[in-house]
Structures are given as structure tokens and as C-alpha cells.
Amino acid sequence: MLQIRNLHVNVQGHEILKGLDLTINAGEMHSLMGPNGSGKSTLAQVLAGRDTYEVTEGEVLFEGRNLLELEPDERACAGVFMAFQYPVEIPGVGTAYFLRAAVNAVRKHRGEEELDAVDFLGFVKEKMRLVDMDEQLLKRSVNEGFSGGEKKRGEIFQMAVLEPKLAILDETDSGLDIDALKIVADGVNSMRRTDRAFLVITHYQRLLNYIVPDFVHVLVDGRIVKSGGKELAMELEEKGYGWADQSIRHAAAAS
């Protein structure tokens, strides 16, 4: 589904990603872990199409298409979704209206009929239960005055509404208490399907107690230094990121 090859990305003249390779197949749950500043969020933003990041080398294919050529909205319509680490407050834009506009943009792109306000409301309420969202939030402006936990749950709720093929969760777990974390994890788990893939970016192993990944990758200084199964997350938790980094450096030194 997603192939990233030798991806180099600059932010304001500094190279953040330094040759990243990653392949994600349909139905898989990948977790990307790494210390602060390693480039995790940069990868998420680049995949979503943020234009402040400059791709200097490499390629990203999504279902065989060059993802980097697409505008952010085209990517969303093609089925790429990113749950924002810091969801943006948009005063004056009602949540219900925003979501309907988004859903209908995606539906239109897929050649499906657009939902009217009534159909949409029924559809959305069902999804709200999934992440235990208060229906009152639909009447409020997008993310405005939401608590940190509400914002993060809101992202998962949007994911459920938009039904993407590839969902990238950018530190959705940070700042969540254990109850909210479980709700987020339940939301994600309920959406796992053979034709949908996830890339869960996290700083902590904690989330992976609830969302069990098929693959764990460790990102250090712009490169994936180690990949493995879910047991890698446990090992990291125990030994720290320094261990993953050192082990790869030792390996490089030995060869």
C-alpha cells in the first residue's frame, strides 16, 4: 500500500529525514517509535502533504501512485488520513459542517453520492459512540475549547468518519490519561481491516499495550535503525532508545 524509499526531508535547511525506507501493506499495523526530534512527526506531516517540508530525495508511493505529487486534499480523498498531534482550533467553523464537507469531498472523489444533513447526522452519531464523544461537540466550532483528550478522541472520530485506507496517528497517545487512551485504542482496533493499514507514531510503549502492532520500527536521527515485531517495543521500553541506536552503530562499525 505504502512504499517509502530513501526519503530525505529538509526543514528550514536542516535535514531531518536522512534516507528513510518503510513499506506498509494492507491490513498491517505498524508502529514507529523514536526519541523526540528523531523525525517521527516530520514523516507524518510529509505523508499528509504539509508544504513547509522539503523532500530533497527519495520517493513515496501510495497504491503505486507518487504520493508526493498530490495536494493534501487529494491525498485525503485518495484515502490517506493523519491524526494530528496538535489538532487545530478553527473558530466559526462548526464541527458538523466541517465533517460533512470532508466526508462529501471524499465520497465525491470515490464516485459515491453525497450525504445530506439528515443522513449525515445518523451516520456520524453512530461513529461518535465508537469514541465516546458527546454529541454536543458537533454543534461547537472545530476543536475550539476542546480539552486535550477531546481533541485526540476527535481525531479518531474523524478517522472513523472518513474511513481511510491508510491512517497515520501522530502521537495521538501523548497527553492522554489511561481511560482516554483505552477509548482511542478501542477506536483504532475496531477499525482494523484487511484492506486498511495503520502507522502509529508514538514516543511511549504504553499505547502498544492496547494497540498490538505487527511491526515496530525505531527511528533515530532521521533513519529507521531497527525493525522488528511487537517484542521490540518491550525491549525499547526496557533499554531505551540509546540501545537501539548503539546496537545499529556497533553493527555498522563491525561491518
Partner 1 sequence: MVELVQEKDIYRSAFARLEAESNPVGGSALIALRTQAMARFAELGFPTLRHEDWRYTNVARIAKTEFRSAVDCSVDLDERAIVAETFPEAQFHRLVFVNGFFARDLSSQHGLPKGVQVGSLAETLDDDPSWVERHLARYASYQDHAFTALNTALMEDGAFVYVPKGVIVEQPIHLLYVTMPGVEPIVVHPRNLIIADEASQVTIIESYVGLGEGVYFTNTVTEISVGEGAVVDHYKVQRETTQAYHVGTTQLYQRRSSTASSHIISIGGDIVRNDINAVLDGEGCDCTLNGLYVPAGKQHVDNHLRVEHRKPHGNSREHFKGILDDSARGVFTGRIIVHKDAQKTDAKQTNRNLLLSDNASVDTKPQLEIFANDVKCTHGATIGQLDKDAMFYLRARGISADAARSLLVFAFAGESIAKIKPQPVRAQVQQILLERLPQGDQLQGLS
Rounded to 10 deg, the angle between the 95-109 and 117-130 helix axes is: 100
Q: Which three cell numbers stand for residue 23?
A: 513499506
Among 33, 67, 76, 200, binds partner 1 (CB under 8 A): 76
Task: Give φ, ψ of 210 to 5 degrees.
Answer: -110, -30
- In whole angstroms, the minimum distance from the beta carbon of 88 to partner 1 comes to 4
Report the 10 Å Cβ neighbour count for 253.
Answer: 7
Q: Which three cell numbers stand for residue 79?
A: 484515502
Reduced to 3 states, what is the DSSP secondary structure of residue 154? Answer: helix
- In whole angstroms, the minimum distance from the beta carbon of 97 to partner 1 comes to 5
Q: Which of residues 136-165 bind partner 1 (CB under 8 A)?
A: 141-142, 158, 162
- In whole angstroms, the minimum distance from the beta carbon of 110 to partner 1 comes to 10
236 near partner 1, rule: CB under 8 A: no
68 near partner 1, rule: CB under 8 A: no
251 near partner 1, rule: CB under 8 A: no
- The single-letter code of the amino acid at 39 is G
Is residue 189 within 8 A of residue 197, CB to CB? The reply is no
- Measured from the CB atom, is 155 or 245 closer to partner 1? 155
Residue 158: name the closest of 92, 90, 210 by CA. 90
112 near partner 1, rule: CB under 8 A: no
- Measured from the CB atom, is 136 or 255 closer to partner 1? 136
C-alpha 171/C-alpha 229 separation (Å) is 20
- 54-62, 91-99, 212-220, 229-237 -> range binding partner 1 (CB under 8 A): 91-99
Q: How many residues bind partner 1 (CB under 8 A)?
A: 32
C-alpha 243/C-alpha 253 separation (Å) is 15
Which residues form the interface with partner 1 (CB under 8 A)? 48-51, 71-73, 75-77, 81-82, 84, 87-88, 90-94, 97-98, 101-102, 105-106, 109, 117, 141-142, 158, 162
